[in-house]
Structure 1
Amino acid sequence: MPRTLITPIDDEESGRLAVGVWQAARRAAGNLPSEARSERVAAKVARGAEAGEVALLAHYGERAAGMLVAEPFQDEDGPDDACGHLSMVFVDPALWGCGVASALMRSLQRGDHGPGWTRLSVWTRATNLRAQRLYRARGFTDTGERATLHEGEVISRWEWRAGG
């Protein structure tokens, strides 16, 4: 089995590879990304470590396999320096089940390429059972908070605490 290597997204090529992974995952989910949405994701990925953000690319053997973007958590009181918000985790569908997402999450939780947050937050669709299994396996718990997207889909917030 190939080794999964996690690196920061810190140049144009790694950003292009990360967006390619995101596009492949969206297509596999039946959600074809528009050109405008792809451009917004590319800009978000390109920001990389700006403003305390973390952008990671997973390589599985010789191929780009997954990507993750996290930023400082913001609530109604402003930023929380101890908490990060996971905004994107995507894996090439050909590698689903190979541990790529877990490797990305583990790297973020250890603070290998970022601020070393002691808490992480993520919102996920109530129907996204694959993501929920990943978060549960990485020590996240469902906070019970719910919101509804403009399309009417329910999302739930999950949280991880170091040592928890």
Structure 2
Amino acid sequence: MPRTVITPITDAAARQLAVDVWVAARLATGRPPSPQRMQRVAAKVEARVEAGDVALLAHYGDRVAGMLVAEPFRDDGVLAPASGHLSMLFVDPALWGCGVGGALVRSLQRREHGPGWTRLSVWTREENRRARRLYTARGFADTGERAALHEGEIIHRLEWRAAD
């Protein structure tokens, strides 16, 4: 079985690979992105890289397999310095179940990449059981917070805290 290697996104080519993974995952879940949405995601990845936030690619063997983008957590608009927010985590659908998503989250939790946050937050769609299993397996707990997206879908907030 190939090994998963995590690397920072540092240039335009890597940013495009991250967007390509996002597109593949969206297509696999029946949510084809519009060209405008693709541009917004590409701009978001670029902005996070330029801001010095966490933007990672996962390589599984010799192929790009996943991407993660995380930024400082804001609680009611106030920066929480020891906390991060996972804003994007996507895996190439051909590699779902191979541990790529877990490796990305684990690299952040172990402080291998990024500022060493001791608390992480993520929102995920209610129907995305695969993602919720991934986060639960990595020690995230449901906070009970819910929100509705503009499409009416419900999202759940989960949180992880490093052991003392």
For 2:52 and 2:80, the matched residues in 1 are separated by 11
- Which residue number corresponds to residue 51 of structure 2? 51
Q: Does 1:75 align with 2:75?
A: yes
Partners of 2:48 and 2:5 in 1: CA distance: 18
> Counterpart in 2 of 1:105?
105
Shift of 1:52: 4.6
* Residue pair 1:10, 1:48 contacting (<8 A) in 2 also: no
1:141 aligns with 2:141: yes
Give structure 2 stretches of 5+ with no counterpart.
none
**Superimposed CA distance per residue, residues 116-156 of structure 1 (whole angstroms, 9 cap, x where no aligned partner):** 10000001111110000000000000000111111111111
**Deviation >6 Å, runs of 4+:** none
Give distance in 2, aligned partners of 1:116 and 1:110.
Answer: 8
Distance (whole Å) between structure 2 residues aligned to residue 111 and residue 44 of structure 1: 22
- Name the aligned partner's letter for residue 100 of structure 1: V
Question: Is the Cα–Cα contact under 8 Å of residues 3 and 60 in structure 1 kept in the other structure?
Answer: yes
Partner of 1:31: 31
2:51 alignment partner, SS class: helix
* Alpha-carbon distance in 2 for matches of 1:9, 1:52: 10
What's the TM-score, normalizing by structure 1?
Answer: 0.96
TM-score (norm. length: structure 2): 0.96
Output one character per residue of 1:32-69: Cα deviation in whole Å (capped at 9) or x when no partner: 01111111111111234443510000000000000000
Q: State the Cα distance separating 1:26 from its structure 2 match.
A: 0.2
Q: CA RMSD in A?
A: 1.2
The percent of aligned pairs where both chains have the same amino acid is: 70
- Measure the CA separation in 2 of the matches of 1:70 and 1:9: 12
Q: Tell me the matched-pair count.
A: 164
**How do 1:88-103 and structure 2 match up within 5 A?**
88-103=88-103
Deviations 1:74-131 (A, max 9, x none): 1215110111010000000000000000000001111212101000000111111000
> Per-residue deviation at 1:3?
0.7
Q: Is the 8 A contact 2:48 2:71 kept in 1?
A: no
2:34 aligned partner, one-letter code: S
